[in-house]
């Protein structure tokens, strides 16, 4: 597989170099398109422990199905099974699961939880989502863009919406891979300044330009248009207010007029049709939303093969 990621953690898109990300994406494509590769069962005998603080459709099903496809086994641990830091310390949970499982995936609220799990675990830890980053989603996004555009470097991606965890990981991923990226968001909802600063630093070495603006005209000439829900899980109390603030920050027919005609449309789902994207736009031939959802499984399969599978 070229690069050696065995035993590593993935908490942030910055944890892997461009070469390492490319290697994972190459493996993902092979596993997706070549049944013979899946038939080798590269995760045979391996166990994945899945910790969930938040409910999930794509994360749980993609990881669990992926492990089954590749010969492994996944164990779902609901919020009631593991009360992180309450019934038992995160340190003890990490140490115990390391004795049972070959890899740990955690979908949590606070990013510090995945960091603490990784600090004490003796097996790889994967960030399945935290309030700060969502690297598994971005690996799938990059795979999807590659499928549609056959390259990443030099493409122009515009993310329209809240400067949230997905935006953070997209900025880091774009910077690593030499993509130009602009986050278009209402004033006051920008990504964290520290993330923007770091992404620009990383991008300076790869030829990537990273920008943040409130001007929707920045989507002019975009190769990729990406959006996400205006209010993430845990922000339900702000949902109505955000609808008013974000009203024009959406992907619709007007946005498509200024982007490139073949611009790829992405949304990490679940979608609130009529808010951040309208239903008709989500079903255009340009839309890769459901390819993107499928690729969660393939990208994560590839990631686990690199972290714990046969070399």
Examine residue 148 and state whether it is found in any structural domain, yes or no. Answer: yes
Q: How many domains does the chain have?
A: 2
Q: What percent of the chain has pLDDT over 70?
A: 98
Examine residue 171 and state whether it is found in any structural domain, yes or no. Answer: yes
Examine residue 2 and state whether it is found in any structural domain, yes or no. Answer: no
In degrees and rounded to multiples of 5, residue 273 shows phi and psi of -65, 135
Asked if 118 and 154 sit in the same domain, the reply is no
pLDDT, tens only, 245-297: 999 999 999 999 999 999 999 999 999 999 999 999 999 999 999 999 999 99
Asked if 163 and 235 sit in the same domain, the reply is yes
Catalytic residue among 228, 250, 292, 300: 228
**What pLDDT is recorded for position 267?**
98
* Neighbour tally for 55: CB within 10 Å: 11
Catalytic residue among 9, 102, 137, 306: 137
How far is it, in rounded angstroms, from Cα 114 to Cα 35? 33
Asked if 262 and 142 sit in the same domain, the reply is yes
Q: Is 268 annotated in the active site?
A: yes
**What pLDDT is recorded for position 247?**
95
Q: Is 107 annotated in the active site?
A: yes
How far is it, in rounded angstroms, from Cα 4 to Cα 47? 20
How far is it, in rounded angstroms, from Cα 60 to Cα 187? 34
**What pLDDT is recorded for position 257?**
97
- Enclosing H/E stretch for 311: none
Residue-range definition of the domain harbouring residue 77: 13-134+296-308
Q: Is 60 annotated in the active site?
A: no
CATH number of the domain at 156, please.
3.40.50.1370
b/e per residue, 227-240, with b = 16+ CB within 10 A? Answer: bbbbbbeeeeeeee
Q: Is 296 annotated in the active site?
A: yes
> What average pLDDT does the chain have?
95
Catalytic residue among 38, 143, 168, 268: 268
Examine residue 4 and state whether it is found in any structural domain, yes or no. Answer: no
pLDDT, tens only, 198-246: 999 999 999 999 999 999 999 999 999 999 999 876 667 788 889 999 9
How far is it, in rounded angstroms, from Cα 58 to Cα 137? 10
pLDDT, tens only, 161-195: 999 999 999 999 999 999 999 999 999 999 999 99
Examine residue 262 and state whether it is found in any structural domain, yes or no. Answer: yes
Examine residue 248 and state whether it is found in any structural domain, yes or no. Answer: yes
């Amino acid at each position: 597989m070229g690069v050696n990621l065995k035993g590593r953690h993935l908490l942030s898109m910055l944890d892997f170099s461009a070469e390492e990300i490319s290697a994972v994406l190459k493996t993902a494509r092979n596993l997706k398109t070549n049944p013979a590769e899946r038939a080798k069962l590269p995760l045979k005998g391996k166990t994945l422990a899945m910790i969930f603080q938040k409910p999930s459709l794509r994360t749980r099903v993609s990881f669990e199905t992926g492990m089954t496809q590749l010969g492994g086994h996944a164990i779902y641990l609901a919020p009631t099974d593991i009360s992180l830091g309450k019934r038992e310390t995160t340190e003890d949970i990490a140490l115990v699961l390391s004795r049972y499982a070959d890899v740990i995936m955690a979908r949590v609220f606070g990013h510090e939880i995945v960091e603490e799990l990784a600090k004490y675990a003796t097996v790889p830890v994967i960030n399945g989502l935290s309030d700060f980053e969502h690297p598994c989603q971005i690996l799938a996004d990059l795979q999807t863009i590659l499928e549609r555009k056959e390259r990443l470097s030099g493409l122009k991606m515009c993310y329209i919406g809240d400067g949230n965890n997905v935006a953070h990981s997209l900025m880091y991923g774009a910077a690593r891979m030499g993509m130009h990226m602009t986050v278009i968001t209402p004033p006051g909802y920008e990504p964290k300044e520290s993330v923007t600063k770091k992404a620009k630093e990383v991008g300076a070495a790869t030829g990537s330009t990273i920008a943040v603006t409130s001007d929707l005209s920045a989507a002019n000439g975009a190769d990729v248009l990406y959006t996400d829900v205006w209010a993430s899980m845990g922000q339900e109390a702000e949902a109505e207010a955000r609808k008013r603030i974000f009203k024009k920050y959406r992907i619709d027919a007007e946005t498509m007029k200024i982007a490139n005609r073949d611009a790829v449309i992405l949304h990490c789902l679940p979608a609130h049709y009529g808010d951040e994207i309208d239903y008709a736009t989500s079903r255009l031939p340009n839309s890769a939303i459901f390819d993107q959802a499928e690729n969660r499984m393939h990208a994560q399969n590839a990631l686990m093969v690199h972290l714990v599978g046969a070399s």
